[in-house]
Amino acid sequence: MNSFSDLKLNRQLLNAIADLGYDTPTPIQQKAIPAVLGGQDVVGIAQTGTGKTAAYLLPILRLLNYAQEDSPRALILVPTRELSIQVGNALKDLTKYTDLRYAVVFGGQGAKDQIAAIKEGIDILVASPGRFLDLYLAGHIQTKKIKHLILDEAERLMDKSFISQFHRILEVLPRKRQNLLFSATMSELVKKISGDFMAFPIEINIAPEVRTAETVSQVVYEVPNIKTKINLLKYLFKDEQFKKVIVFCKTKAIASDIGKYMERVYGIDHVRIIHGNKTQQTRINAMQAFREEEGLRFLVTTDLAARGLDIPDVSHVINFDVPIIYEDYVHRIGRTGRAFKTGESLTFVTPADEYHLQKIQALIKQRIEKCDLPSEVDVVATPFEERQEMLREIDRQKRKENPEFKGAFHEKKAIGSKSDFKKAKRK
């Protein structure tokens, strides 16, 4: 297949594609577009930057064909505001020669304009789960005409932060519909959940072998607890080689706490914080400042900023927390060592993170060097609650690997004392 014209797309879409400068469909587009046009449920697995968005938008636009009805006929669910905007921009480009209408709705800003766009009549709705439910329950969204459900970045839509909302959305959609699921990865959890609502889907897997950039050196520091992680940060940042640093945290709360701590220590002019509770404009301003301002040294963020973030001259990436979506590790460290420059990645690993570290190493097919904690770093005792939570997490990991495992929580030794940590390192 050499051109988009081979994919049975109409002239309006082909003209829009030509305006964008594309002439050859990507592998995911070559396989997904005919399957979607054939009316089949599709699971598409492909990495970021492979054309996944167009792989589902083009056939959906072809199936919808022209403006019709007042309520949406296709619903695209996305996990973040950033992705909502990205999909909206793609729709703007691809619908320019059609009369198809769309609206993009997400939280973090007023709903007035979003409601007005819906009331004007739309064919496609792009929505974050939370904002969709808010508007539906308020009577602003009608679902009876929806014939196509698309899940973009399904891995995230089905994690614990969205899953209850997702199930509620499924309950209000027509049972007879086409389901499309697109993701960079396909975990066992996603397979299980998708099996509950998809009818014999075609699986299209274009995911390439995952490799990290050779220009990025990677090391791991074993640390017993959060407080020691902070002490390690303080020690590392004494080195002026840490010129432009992105610190990745696993939750909004941790990113906020670490960011505020760094603002106190290094000054608010040298730190920016990005997470889901920040407004869209605040995030844009923070990223622009970090990209352009000379003295701005640190960006503290969740994985929200890991994908598609292009900031030149990032000297170091610090994984304050180990990502539990293992592909995110590759995305994170890919923020440094760009444009043939070198960079460094440092990952802080607690005893409860060892399981995830092993999975990451298996994914990237390399062993990451472990470094001893510098003697100047104060290793503090792990608080009781933090120690207990780590023990529970270790038990959860063992059950995941062995469903017969009954749990050894009550039998385990305390983790986190200085002596125990040293013993663990000697093994």
State phi, psi for 318 to the nearest 5 degrees.
-115, 120
Instruction: Tell me, yes or no, whether 198 and 262 share the same domain.
Output: no
DSSP 316-385: EEEESS--SSTHHHHHHHTTSS-TT--EEEEEEE-GGGHHHHHHHHHHHTSPPEEEPPPTTS--PPPPHH
Domain contains 98: yes
Domain contains 311: yes
| Final residue in a domain of this structure, among 161, 177, 205 | 205
Instruction: Tell me, yes or no, whether 227 and 193 share the same domain.
Output: no
Domain contains 225: yes
pLDDT value of position 413? 47
Instruction: Tell me, yes or no, whether 190 and 227 share the same domain.
Output: no
Domain contains 345: yes
Instruction: Tell me, yes or no, whether 27 and 98 share the same domain.
Output: yes
Instruction: Tell me, yes or no, whether 418 and 275 share the same domain.
Output: yes
Domain contains 141: yes
pLDDT value of position 186? 74
Domain contains 186: yes
Number of domains the chain contains: 2
Neighbours of 81 (CB within 10 A): 21
Of the chain, the percentage scoring pLDDT greater than 70 comes to: 89
**pLDDT reading at 391 higher than 70:** yes
| CATH code (residue 33) | 3.40.50.300
Instruction: Tell me, yes or no, whether 251 and 380 share the same domain.
Output: yes
Instruction: Tell me, yes or no, whether 340 and 401 share the same domain.
Output: yes
pLDDT tens-digit profile of 324-340? 878 788 888 888 877 66
Domain contains 39: yes
Instruction: Tell me, yes or no, whether 229 and 151 share the same domain.
Output: no
Query: Could you tell me which residue, 258 or 190, shows the higher pLDDT?
Result: 258
Contact 42, 202 (CB under 8 A): yes
pTM for the full model?
A: 0.59
Which of 107, 339, 91, 113 is closest to 215 using CA atoms? 339
| Final residue in a domain of this structure, among 182, 205, 228 | 205
Mean pLDDT along residues 245-256: 93
* Highest mean predicted confidence (pLDDT) among 160-164, 279-283, 387-391: 387-391
Instruction: Tell me, yes or no, whether 379 and 310 share the same domain.
Output: yes
pLDDT band of residue 3 (cuts 50, 70, 90) is confident
User: Which H helix or E strand runs over 179?
Assistant: strand 178-183
Which of 126, 132, 177, 187 is closest to 154 using CA atoms? 187
Rg (CA), the chain: 23
Domain contains 137: yes
| Final residue in a domain of this structure, among 205, 231, 247 | 205
pLDDT value of position 411? 46
pLDDT value of position 424? 44
128: containing domain = 4-205
pLDDT tens-digit profile of 73-103? 999 999 888 788 889 999 999 999 999 999 9
